[in-house]
Amino acid sequence: MQPSETSRPAILTVDDDPSVSRAVARDLRRHYGETHRIVRAESGPQALDALKEMKLRGDQAAVLLADYRMPGMSGIEFLEQAMDIFPAARRVLLTAYADTDAAIEAINVVDLDHYLLKPWDPPEEKLYPVLDALLEAWAAVEHKTIPETKVIGHRWSARSSQVREFLARNQVPYRWFPIDEPEGQRLLAAAGGEEHRLPVVITVDGDVLIEPSDTEVANRVGIVTTASEHFYDLIVIGGGPAGLGAAVYGASEGLRTVLIERTATGGQAGQSSRIENYLGFPDGVSGAQLTERARRQAHKFGAEVITTRDVVGLEVKGAARKVRFADGDSLAAHTVILATGVSYRQLSAPGLDELTGRGVYYGSALTEAANCSSQDVYIVGGANSAGQAAVYLSRACKSVNILVRGDSLEASMSYYLVQQIAGIDNIHVHTCTEIAQAHGEEHLEAITLKHQDGSTRRVDTQWVFAFIGAAPRTDWLDGPAKDARGFVLAGPDLPPVEELGDEWTLDRAPYHLETSVPGVFVAGDARAESAKRVASAVGEGAMAVMLVHRYLEKL
């Protein structure tokens, strides 16, 4: 089977004489056209532009043939600059007999592989055998094309870390190129970027995004950010297990359903390395796998999923429930399910805020795991998410240290995880311990630990992963009643009907998952007194849809 156009390595020829350039390209296509792309240029700058576009697309250049005498940029100057873009490409200089001495001298300048005298008729004797040998030598070295999105950035940059996390959680394949490595420098030069304006994202199509927002990235890598309609039967706010469960059941039961997520579907569960107590998965399932299956299931039934939209308000407009976005846009529906979940609480010790994204991470263990191999890492938190991260990181890290304020893990972590951790030699649990201070300039270098007895000690580490607390994502929400901690009250947890106030306009009591605003329901971790487990969140999402049907029947 013939290779596709984009998968074939390229042979590039550059000559300023159009007739010679066409003749070279013709000879190359005749012999190599089925297995290689033949790229023709008539100047050095034009050829460099072609190579940069290939680099951005993730294509490969196998051989570069350049005429020695070209105005503006000689063949040697072109090959010297081309080395920075495709260092593995074989380099050939095309020369007249009078220029052979210069060609020989160029061997050391541009690490020339061969020089060819013009004319080379017949090509079967003087051109093809030379190129056959060069292509064979090039193919003997592994050359992997990179069809993924590329991210170039500083290793210890918070924004670079955020972009990588955003792509990973949205299931967008990407390749990371630190700016302090040669390939990162080559890609940045090809993209026309600057080191002080990072990260740079290069899409599969070769589009260059400099310091992009999440929405800009989403729009260029195929993530949907805009709803197709203005009015729905059901708006689900939040794409964690509860939101995905509601979207699946809502759409499968015929409701025009849209799910709104501000970052990526999956919520905290989507960041779990392995969930082993979820029904139906005896060997466990990663949060990313479970999330992706649920997202595809929602799409299958017709639910829309839109991402990078931050909801900042909820209003009642007659029979409609309207949600407002941070960019001023809005969307309306008959009903709304709040499935916003919870977020990890920020650590408060001095130095931690400044080093967030530069050694201090909140729930980013999967994205950063490859970078902390064979090192000492610290995990803050004693619930399941912390335990799952510890087990995962223990496979590659030198040591994993769990810091918990309590005197044991049993009070907050599932029994099966506690037992697993106890059986892993390089996981160490430090009870009655917290971080008192973080140290470092450009990135985290050490932390000071404080023990319950008041003693402290400083330990060297570049990695802290925090999984503490459950702060509900409801600070934007006005209208539905909340408890003192911000969790949304629903059903039997609400005051009697006569005490609900003007928002409650019906002559019945709220349904089990209905808030103090009719037609607005809550499911999952954002609900007061919820179980804070994946299975219960999915179940509440399904139950909320059943109650949505009951509400709609009485409209």
Q: Is the domain of 170 the same as that of 122?
A: no
Segment 451-464, tens digit of pLDDT: 999 999 999 999 99
Average pLDDT of the residues in 320-344: 96
Element (H, E) at 44: helix 44-57
Number of domains in the chain: 4
Residue type, 180: D
Average pLDDT of the residues in 214-236: 95
Strand partners, 153: 178
The enclosing domain of 193 has a CATH number of 3.40.30.10
Q: Is 180 a domain residue? A: yes
The enclosing domain of 86 has a CATH number of 3.40.50.2300
pLDDT at 391: 93
Q: Is 208 a domain residue? A: yes
The sign one gets for the Cα dihedral 493, 498, 500, 506 is positive
Q: Is the domain of 440 the same as that of 491?
A: no
CA–CA separation, 169 and 295 (whole Å): 12
Q: Is the domain of 449 the same as that of 522?
A: no
pLDDT at 3: 46
Is 0.95 topped by the overall pTM?
no
Residue finishing a domain among 165, 186, 221:
221
Q: Is the pLDDT of residue 327 over 80?
A: yes
Q: Is the domain of 27 the same as that of 105?
A: yes
Q: pLDDT confidence of 84, banded at 50, 70, 90?
A: confident
Q: Is the domain of 96 the same as that of 170?
A: no
Q: Is the domain of 21 the same as that of 131?
A: yes
CA–CA separation, 266 and 288 (whole Å): 7
Average pLDDT of the residues in 314-334: 96
Cis geometry, peptide bond prior to residue 122 (ω within 30 degrees of 0): yes
The enclosing domain of 298 has a CATH number of 3.50.50.60
Average pLDDT of the residues in 294-300: 93
Q: Is the domain of 306 the same as that of 239?
A: yes
Residue finishing a domain among 140, 163, 184:
140
**Cβ-based burial of 246 (10 A; exposed 0-12, middle 13-18, buried ≥19):** buried
Q: pLDDT confidence of 1, banded at 50, 70, 90?
A: very low
Average pLDDT of the residues in 386-415: 93
Are 465 and 379 in contact by the 8 Å Cβ rule? The answer is yes
Segment 465-511, tens digit of pLDDT: 999 977 899 999 999 999 999 999 999 999 998 888 888 989 999 99
Residue 338 has a CB neighbour count (10 Å cut-off) of 32
CA–CA separation, 307 and 369 (whole Å): 25
Domain coverage including residue 368: 360-466
Q: pLDDT confidence of 83, banded at 50, 70, 90?
A: confident
190-201: b (≥16 Cβ within 10 Å) or e? bbebeeeebbbb
Residue finishing a domain among 466, 491, 523:
466
Q: Is 457 a domain residue? A: yes
DSSP-derived secondary structure letter, 285:
B
